[in-house]
Structure 1
């Protein structure tokens, strides 16, 4: 594969993947991104222009998508509306991007015979009880609980149908919660880090007992590349790094790493429909494709992430005021 189309490549996880490709491969990348609030040109700055082209456009626009797919060897589909809080406020953009956008890409992949990899989330499986010994596997039934996760589940099912009905050479990956550079400050970890940098006490939903299975974006990128190059079309692979932590422990670890008292945070009212626990079993990915994470310890990756936000204020500062104003309106 020499030419990749990466949708959503100016967003958080997508831009990290593009940086990974520049460092570890010789592929040429076309990024297709609508540049909504979550997309940022600055996330692609410094990358070689002869290898990275940014096309501003909508994945739901077939006229934009078709010529880009025609010249690509593979599509890596990151583009998505992805914030649960936003989906509760206005679900419609999640339908437009996550469902219609994925359909449009699949139709182009079918037309040109293009390899397709679809990035999804563990949230399609719903949640687990805090004391449940089980973890999500490729066979776990879908049970989404928000407009965001339900539209991602719908997009996964579209991919599966296009594989079976039309022979599209597609794979799916469902990943646990990512953290790392270039993540919008509305998200949990960068919001807490940037609040501490601003001298503001972090805010924690409810009692903070909700558990997420954290993975550094670099590890997600290496897993996607492994699936794209060695995965079997028609298969789903779960991506996780055994990073289960509850939200309270994450906030306290951030505060401790940044030289603050571990209890220097405030509780706010819990989010509606807040899933209790996610946990990924990535055995298939590890055994069949030989993938292992670089950041095997959450603390190691978190320390690197804190350093990145401390050193890159110019990247996140323009987002911060609008984000905090929106949270203030919600009492959070």
Structure 2
């Protein structure tokens, strides 16, 4: 039996042993699930919460904690609330406040989770759980987390978390839930009202408007809802982004659009230097949402879209971008030809 243990947290709760007899999910099995990780890896199988335990969920709107019934979950979408590289410190002596800086950093991350239920309701907050994906020959364990803390010297990119869980054979609100159909190939969608991104398959979607992003080789087609960003604001945003230190040393604002006080920026992130994965170079796309403050711009959300890696000998290619109106503000039920 192989196992993928996704990035630990002191809030993770082990739910027990997997009950037998759940292997071999049929295509119409309501427990069939597709899991996407933050590094783009995808897994399919039968979803299992075991031992009679239920995921513990804190609803931020109601300020209340309760247990979720796994049978009522249609989709789980995880986004980053906050993340940073924390400087290592130590106290010089016990009972004294004098500290010395250590020669390393470690990643910290706080996650927010949106859960769509069979009732049609979508809850937003923080969840703590362990779940399993089972196939006829394999079983994998995953954590749904609230807080993550990485190892010394680890990058934020290397600290992987569960990004998306979708159960395509379940319905929300007593009817087939929202579904956006796109051509085969890597893709992502962003719910503009909830500021959360989704990975394929695009089923179990809450009501709302979605911008669509299609990745085909070195061409990226996208929709970006909103009007133009003033040149002065764009320069200030680019200056703010340039100050962000992270694994990706190349940061490019491909396009930006403003809707009310919110600016959404399609970001191309690249790393052409050697990293933790020898022999490979990386490109990653995110949608950043920013809001103005009295002095600068606040980076409010960073929503994962897609990641690609290339052999070191090939290097990271140049990408072409095409904005398309048909990919902007798409409803939760739509077909993109």
- Alignment TM-score, normalising by the size of structure 2: 0.28
Considering fraction of residues, name the structure with more strand. Answer: 2
Considering fraction of residues, name the structure with more helix. Answer: 1
Decide which structure has the larger Cα Rg and report it.
2
- Alignment TM-score, normalising by the size of structure 1: 0.28
